[in-house]
Amino acid sequence: MILDTFFPSEEYKSTYEIDFEAYYEKGYRGVIFDIDNTLVPHNAGPDKRVIALMERLKQIGFSVCLLSNNKEPRVASFNEPLKVHYIFKADKPSRKGYQRAMAVMGTGEADTLFVGDQLFTDVWGAKRTGLFSILVKPIHPKEEIQIVLKRYLERPILWMYHRNMKKKANRTKTDRD
């Protein structure tokens, strides 16, 4: 089905609920993050949670890269206390930004995760690049008008995604019984 193109590999309520240790055990070594509404509300600076998460990821052994369509001043200032790799004006959903992120981290498609809050830019770009994509719910409802419009278009796709996930879960349960 064509809508599968926009389906994430997994979905979480929040970036801060993801069990990154489990992904490391599965062989993942790089994490690419969107910034706005994935790590913090739009245009907010890094808070204690973001700083603690980045430190935790480094301690686990992950290489991290921020991937944003924002301009350099926003991304560079956000990254100051984090001290991870970053790419600005990434032109998501283009594959180029994701590929550059993997190049700076020294990872490849098979060992890189992507975490973002939008289907049409974040998830679609990650999937087009061959990455495992994690969709998180937006942190804050206040968004720019073009993103609000995209959210309306995302709803039927997310409905289909959730329906497919329920079917898979039911098939797995039936197979076990």
Question: d(Cα 139, Cα 36) in Å, to the nearest integer?
Answer: 8
- State the pLDDT at residue 172: 60
**In the chain, pLDDT over 90 holds for what percent of residues?**
69
Q: What angle do CA 33, 144, 82 make, to 5 degrees?
A: 30
Residues 6+ apart with CB under 8 A from 54: 64, 82, 83, 84
- State the pLDDT at residue 65: 98
Residues across the chain: 177
The one-letter code for the residue type at 142 is: K
pTM of the model: 0.85
- State the pLDDT at residue 146: 64
Mean pLDDT confidence for 59-65:
98
The structure tokens 């032109």 sit at 91
- Does position 63 have pLDDT exceeding 60, yes or no? yes
Determine the CATH number of domain 2-176: 3.40.50.1000
Mean pLDDT confidence for 45-70:
97
Q: Tell me how crowded residue 60 is: count the other CB atoms within 10 A of its CB.
A: 15
